[in-house]
DNA sequence: ACCATTTGCGGACAGGTGTCCGCGTCAAGC
DNA sequence: GCTTGACGCGGACACCTGTCCGCAAATGGT
């Protein structure tokens, strides 16, 4: 319904004033239409909208937001290691934010760069900052303090134990407890830990859960579980798991069950065991963590722990929205997500 | 109300004027320090920087950028289906952009939303827009035209054949030609295509390459290759490949080689063939596409095509930078990336 | 004590938008 | 023809920063 060919290439318009001149209205009138203010004739509104689609003009967001309108943007800082579960959380979160009208600014953490990333977020006047994954604890704590100083809501997903941070995290201790109970009921008494050192702050939760499950059965951690993490380099997880399992196979009495930090490591280990002639689960049991897609592509299907990403993000959104609505909480909000054990084919009754 | 405590909790400062008042300097002086202008005493500069780290003040990016400074931001629109290769491209691209001083605005395409996404990018006055993946061709073309109208550089990675778009894409026809030559040399003469319909615009390139390789050997596509895509739903790729392979196994004379659209489908097919008692590659050959990590986690290791993501992104950056430097090109720039065949263990001599 | 130089001050303007307000215009109803 | 609304105009101010410029104050040297 528009005009003829002469208007096929409408001019490039970069300000409301220019746009108003183009359609022969006052700048203020255009602004009123754009901001849905009352008291305008329908025909005028239509005229503006029509010219809008014709020229493709968009008001300068910087001027709009400078004027004090809420930026409706959220900063998201991602852990350096982009694993499938992390990316799935990001994608789910971004979708939900978008449906609530928020834009997300995404930055990937690089060593020592968190300060600059946060400054960028703050200069963009984001309404909240979310961290997803695991970071340097001291650095993260400093960032959280800065955010609080700026009265900007914060949220940490996954990383657990930062004093003043609002946190949503999987109960990894509980996960390991359930996994160990499962293996113990199958008769296993000797365990190989893959990627889970016995003494390391970052794996504390997992070890805690393992120890608790063993204790409940009257067993002692150092007596029946070993870890060779120090001996191998962790570069590519799959090969890491492969190398670790080979270490265990050199023992006089290898463990009957292997508990891995994640699915890739578990699969690498399964591969090494199978190459050594062990059937799974008849000869040895293997467990993963994360319940990634590959778990159902293996033979046998991998027993693992599901991170419950949907509920995690749902909870995260609740924590976030409550902060955006009611302001920052007096005490940090802590939410724990219950994991779900997924028993498949890679675990079975202990051989001896 | 805060002279004593003020050191411990510095006030939240939101403008240069406020900040200048806080440290007892003129606003213009602070601004000069922040923008590294000459003619200031070192002690003054230090004083400002010190207060800056103390209060954590950051100038409002919206005011700065409104002032006309280049926004140094690039809009990236991602295909809906977040596959590992897409995400790897995104991560690589973002890293490179950041190293050049550009910020990226990331949006995931949702059906029919491309218009809004583009408007958001334009309102943020991005300096270029990049599309990664495959989209609705008509919709994408319209967006490209809009970008050209706004004199904003564009770049499409992967999607091939949009008239006015600058494009960087893998030579998928060449990839299939090489793959087919490899299989033909191994003696294969009957092929099962998995996820690659014989007649479908989106797979045209692949079919074209397959047909060319067959023709060079004096063979005819419909006579020696079949596809059962119409019979199965493509939901989860792994199960899709599994189901497709089972269809082929019901034939009196199943093919000796299977060519899959991607690695997941290939792995699903391998699984189905192995369950049916076929050894790979002795009983049948299977090939994937993308060279994802899982290819080296399978037994046997999967023969596949590497997308050459590093060179792809490197080329993309070149195309982008040349546009940002010299303005938009007279004719669209087209760059093709040469794929690399990765021969592993899942392909072998044909049984008959 | 005087002068030259360095250094900081403060006013002014631009950049694009949102919003308020008083005023002019136009059409409809009597 | 007059009144009464409804509607659009255009001026003004605010948001925050970068930059220019004239001027005052502090500094340093002799």
E strands in A221-312: 225-227, 257-260, 285-287, 304-306
Does residue A203 sit in the same domain as residue A278?
Answer: yes
DSSP one-letter string for B122-174: HHTT-SEEEEEE---HHHHHHHHHHHHHTT--EEEEE----TT--EEEE-HHH
Percent of chain A with pLDDT over 90: 84
Which residue from A62, A105, A238 is facing B65, i.e. has the nearest CB? Answer: A62
Overall average pLDDT of the B278-307 stretch: 96
Contact A191, A257 (CB under 8 A): yes
Q: Is the CB of B111 under 7 A from strand C?
A: no
A44 touches strand C (CB under 7 A): no
Q: How far is B271 from chain A (nearest CA, A)?
A: 8
Do the beta carbons of residue B88 and residue A82 sit within 8 Å?
A: no
Please give the structure tokens belonging to residue A207: 């070890």
Residue A230: the pLDDT is 83
Q: What average pLDDT does chain B have?
A: 93
Domain-embedded: residue A332: no
Q: Are residues B53 and B77 in the same domain?
A: no
Q: Which of residues 67-106 of B touch strand C (CB under 7 A)?
A: 67-68
Torsion from C-alpha of A48, A50, A52, A53, nearest 10 degrees: 170
Note the pLDDT of residue B38: 86
Q: How far is B75 from chain A (nearest CA, A)?
A: 11
pLDDT (tens digit per residue) in A168-214: 999 999 999 999 999 999 999 999 999 999 988 889 999 999 999 99
Q: What residue of B is the nearest CA neighbor of A85?
A: B84
Q: Please tell me whether any atom of strand D lies within 7 Å of the Cβ of A43.
A: yes
- What integer pLDDT is reported at residue A233 of this predicted model? 85
The shortest C-alpha distance from B220 to chain A (Å) reads 34
Chain A positions touching B108 (Cβ under 8 A) are 91, 94-95
Q: Over range B7-28, report the average pLDDT.
A: 85
Provide the pLDDT for residue A9.
64
A145 occurs within a structural domain? yes
The Cα B126–Cα B118 span in angstroms is 10
As a whole number of angstroms, the distance between CA A202 and CA A229 comes to: 13
More confident residue, B297 or A285: A285
Nearest chain B alpha carbon to A301: B271
Q: pLDDT digits over A107-124, tens only?
A: 999 888 899 999 999 999
Q: At what angle do helices A237-249 and A263-275 cross, to 10 degrees?
A: 40
Hey, are the CB atoms on B122 and A268 less than 8 Å from each other? no
Sheet holding B257-260, edge to edge: B225-227, B191-194, B257-260, B285-287
A·B CB contacts under 8 A = 102
- Looking at the structure, do residues A88 and A142 belong to the same domain, yes or no? yes
**Virtual CA dihedral for A309, A312, A318, A321, nearest 10 degrees?**
-70
Position B317 confidence tier, pLDDT thresholds 50, 70, 90: very high
Which residue of B111, B240, B297, B346 is the best one to mutate when testing the A interface, meaning the one whose CB has the most A CBs within 10 A? B297
Is B41 near strand C, with its CB below 7 A from some atom of it?
Answer: yes
In this complex, do B108 and A94 lie within 8 Å of one another by their Cβ atoms?
Answer: yes
Q: Which two tokens stand for residue B308?
A: 């050459």
Domain stop point among B165, B191, B223? B165
Total domain count, chain A: 3
Same domain membership, residue A229 and residue A264: yes
Q: Assess whether A59 (CB) lies less than 7 A from strand C.
A: yes
Provide mean pLDDT across the span A13-37: 92
Nearest-10 crossing angle of helices A16-23, A42-55: 110
- A296: pLDDT strictly greater than 80: yes
Which of B109, B113, B123 best probes binding to A when mutated, by most A CB atoms within 10 angstroms?
B123
Spatial contact of B48 and B25, defined as CB atoms under 8 Å apart: yes
Domain for residue B325, yes or no? no
Give the domain-ending residue among B24, B51, B66.
B66
Same domain, B291 and B177: yes
Both tokens assigned to B297: 């986690």
User: Which of B91, B123, B264 has its CB closest to that of A60?
Assistant: B123
pLDDT > 60? residue B283: yes
Is the preceding omega at residue B34 within 30 degrees of 0, hence cis? no
CB spacing of A94 vs B82 below 8 angstroms:
no
Q: List, in sequence order, every residue forming a beta bridge with B290; answer none if it has no partner.
A: B306
pLDDT value of residue B352: 62
Q: Enumerate the residues of chain A whose CB falls inside 8 A of the CB of residue B122.
A: 56, 58
Q: CA-to-CA distance for A223 and A191, rounded, in angstroms?
A: 10
- B116 CB burial (10 A radius; 0-12, 13-18, 19+): exposed
Whether residues B56 and B116 fall in one domain: no
Residue B140 shares a structural domain with residue B216: no
Q: Does A61 contact B125 at a Cβ distance shorter than 8 Å?
A: yes
pLDDT band at B9 (very low <50, low <70, confident <90, very high): low
Please identify among residues 155-214 of chain A the ones whose CB lies closer than 8 Å to any CB of chain B. none
Which CATH number characterizes residue B48's domain?
1.10.260.40
Contact: B122, A271; criterion CB under 8 Å: no
**Burial tier of B220 (Cβ tally within 10 Å: 0-12, 13-18, 19+):** exposed
Query: The dihedral of CA B109, B112, B118, B121: what is its sign?
Result: negative
Question: Coil, strand, or helix at residue B329?
Answer: coil
Quick check: B44 CB within 7 A of strand D? Answer: no
What is the pLDDT at residue A57? 94
Half-sphere exposure of A237 (CA within 13 A, CB side): 19
pLDDT at A8: 53
pLDDT beyond 50 at B102: yes
A residues 74..113 contacting B (CB < 8 A): 82, 84, 87, 91, 94-95, 103-106, 108
B41 Cβ nearer than 7 Å to chain D strand: no
Residue B188 maps to a domain:
yes
Distance from CA of A184 to the nearest CA of B (A): 28
Q: Single out the residue of B32, B117, B35, B36 nearest to residue B76, CA to CA.
A: B117
CA distance to partner chain A, nearest, from residue B215 (Å): 35
- Chain A residues near residue B271 by CB distance under 8 angstroms: 297, 299
Cβ of residue A122 closer than 8 Å to a chain B Cβ: yes
| A294 part of contact set with chain B, CB < 8 Å | yes
- Residue B248 and residue B189 share a domain: yes
Instruction: Assess if residue A88 is contained within a domain.
Output: yes
pLDDT at residue A6 in the model: 40
Question: Domain with A179 in it: what CATH number?
Answer: 3.40.50.2300
* Residue B19: nearest nucleotide (C-alpha to C1'): D16
Token pair, residue A56, equals: 């493709």
Contacts 24+ apart (CB under 8 A), B8-12: B9/A149, B10/A149, B10/B54, B10/B55, B10/B56, B11/B55, B12/A149, B12/A150, B12/A151, B12/B55
Rounded Cα–Cα distance for residues B241 and B346 (Å):
15
Nearest CB neighbour to A60, from listed B125, B264, B271: B125
Domain residues for B239?
Answer: 172-306
Q: Which two tokens stand for residue A59?
A: 């008001």
Q: Are residues B297 and B207 in the same domain?
A: yes
Q: What is the pLDDT of residues A248-291, one digit of tens each?
A: 999 999 999 999 999 999 999 999 999 999 999 999 999 999 99
B51/B78 same-domain check? no
Q: What is the 3-state secondary structure (H, E, C) of B53-102?
A: HHHCCCCCHHHHHHCCCCCCEEEEEECCCCCHHHHHHHHHHHHHHHHCCC
Domain-ending residue, one of B165, B196, B217: B165
Cβ within 8 Å of B, A 128-157: 146, 149-151
Q: Is residue A329 part of a domain?
A: no
Give the span between the Cα atoms of A126 and A288, in whole angstroms.
37
Token output for A130: 């979310």
Q: How far apart are CA A181 and CA A189, in angstroms?
A: 11
Say how far apart CA A341 and CA A182 lie, in whole Å. 9
The pLDDT of residue B302: 98
Query: At residue A3, does pLDDT exceed 50?
Result: no
Residue B288: inside a domain = yes
Angstrom distance, A32 CA to D2 C1': 32
Q: Are residues B180 and B287 in the same domain?
A: yes
User: Is A345 domain-assigned?
Assistant: no
Q: Cis link prior to A281 (omega < 30° from 0)?
A: yes
**Is residue B301 located within the same domain as residue B181?**
yes
């Amino acid at each position: 319904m528009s005009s003829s060919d002469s208007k096929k290439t409408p001019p490039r318009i970069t300000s409301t004033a220019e746009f108003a001149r183009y359609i022969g209205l006052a700048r203020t009138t255009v602004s009123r239409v754009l901001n849905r203010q009352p008291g305008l004739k329908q025909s005028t509104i239509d005229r503006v909208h029509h010219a809008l689609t014709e020229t493709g003009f968009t008001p300068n967001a910087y001027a709009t937001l400078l004027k004090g309108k809420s930026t409706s943007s959220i900063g998201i800082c991602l852990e350096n290691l982009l694993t499938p579960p992390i990316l799935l959380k990001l994608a789910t979160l971004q979708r939900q934010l978008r449906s609530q009208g928020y834009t997300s600014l995404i930055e990937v953490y690089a060593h020592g760069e968190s300060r600059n990333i946060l400054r960028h977020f703050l200069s963009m006047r984001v309404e909240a900052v979310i961290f997803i994954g695991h970071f340097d604890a001291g650095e993260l704590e400093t960032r959280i303090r800065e955010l609080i100083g700026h009265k900007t809501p914060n949220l940490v997903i996954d990383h657990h134990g930062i004093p003043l941070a609002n946190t949503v995290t999987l109960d990894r201790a509980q996960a390991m407890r359930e996994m160990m109970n499962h293996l113990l009921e199958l008769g296993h008494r000797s365990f190989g830990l893959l990627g889970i050192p016995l003494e390391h702050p970052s794996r504390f939760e997992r070890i805690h859960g393992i120890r608790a499950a063993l204790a409940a059965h009257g067993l002692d951690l150092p007596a029946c579980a070993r870890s060779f993490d120090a001996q191998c380099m962790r570069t590519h997880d799959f090969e890491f798991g492969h190398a670790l399992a080979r270490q265990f196979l050199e023992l006089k009495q290898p463990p009957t069950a292997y508990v891995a930090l994640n699915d890739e490591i578990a699969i690498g280990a399964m591969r090494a065991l199978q190459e050594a002639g062990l059937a799974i689960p008849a000869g040895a049991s293997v467990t993963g963590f994360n319940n990634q897609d590959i778990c159902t592509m293996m033979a046998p299907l991998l027993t693992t722990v599901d991170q419950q990403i949907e509920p995690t993000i749902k909870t995260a959104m609740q924590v976030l929205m409550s902060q955006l609505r009611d302001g920052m909480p007096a005490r940090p909000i802590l939410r724990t997500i219950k994991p779900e054990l997924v028993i498949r084919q890679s675990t079975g009754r202990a051989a001896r």
